[in-house]
């Protein structure tokens, strides 16, 4: 791929994100257009995304981690918010690309969900679409990567939203409240 082709692709992606943001009005955090989905985000690097109670975002190889169960709320067309079921924190990304957990849903907590050719999803922050494209990513060592340094084709930014069995969810939440 030549430099001009990659520049054209980035320009088209920014234009698409701009259309999504312009059609999107920040709505009340309690309201959602559809039912929330329970999922675990499995990264192509082999980790499940988890949000810890102190707001730290990292990857874990434990498929039964109570911090890795996420609730996806569809806020607009291809725009989702991601909330940890156990901690109640929202996944957010700052304008510099740092990922963190926040107690309240703000514009930093909204992500454009896009499906790539290999059937993995990428999550792009819509709060800083004007300056640069920042994606959610987990490195090979399980740490959250700076989103502004990540490209769509890198393994660290590709996720599979895996459905969570409701029996597993009840078990994990019961085990967590007893601990």
> 112: Cβ–Cβ under 8 A, 6 or more apart, which residues?
17, 20, 78, 79, 123, 124, 125, 126
Q: What is the CATH number of the domain that holds 107?
A: 2.80.10.50
- Cα separation of 178 and 97, whole Å? 36
How many domains does the chain fold into? 1
Q: Beta strands 110-115 and 79-84: pairing type?
A: antiparallel
What range defines the domain where residue 88 resides?
3-178
pTM, two decimals, is 0.76
Cβ 79 vs Cβ 24: under 8 Å: yes
Please, what is the average pLDDT of the chain? 80
Question: pLDDT digits over 83-110, tens only?
Answer: 998 899 999 999 888 999 999 999 999 9
């Amino acid at each position: 791929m030549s430099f001009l082709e990659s520049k054209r692709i980035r320009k088209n992606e920014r234009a698409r994100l701009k259309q999504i943001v312009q059609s999107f009005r920040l709505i009340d955090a309690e309201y959602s257009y559809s039912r929330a989905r329970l999922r675990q985000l499995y990264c192509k690097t082999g980790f499940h995304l988890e949000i810890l109670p102190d707001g730290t975002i990292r990857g874990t190889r434990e498929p039964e981690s109570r911090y890795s169960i996420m609730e996806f709320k569809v806020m607009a067309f291809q725009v989702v918010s991601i909330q940890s079921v156990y901690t109640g924190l929202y996944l957010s990304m700052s304008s510099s690309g740092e990922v963190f957990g926040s107690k309240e849903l703000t514009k930093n907590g909204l992500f454009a969900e896009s499906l790539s050719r290999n059937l993995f999803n990428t999550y792009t922050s819509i709060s800083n679409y004007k300056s640069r494209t920042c994606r959610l990513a987990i490195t090979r060592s399980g740490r959250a990567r700076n989103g502004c340094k990540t490209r769509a084709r890198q393994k660290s930014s590709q996720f599979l939203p895996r459905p969570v069995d409701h029996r597993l969810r009840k078990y994990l939440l019961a085990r967590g409240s007893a601990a």
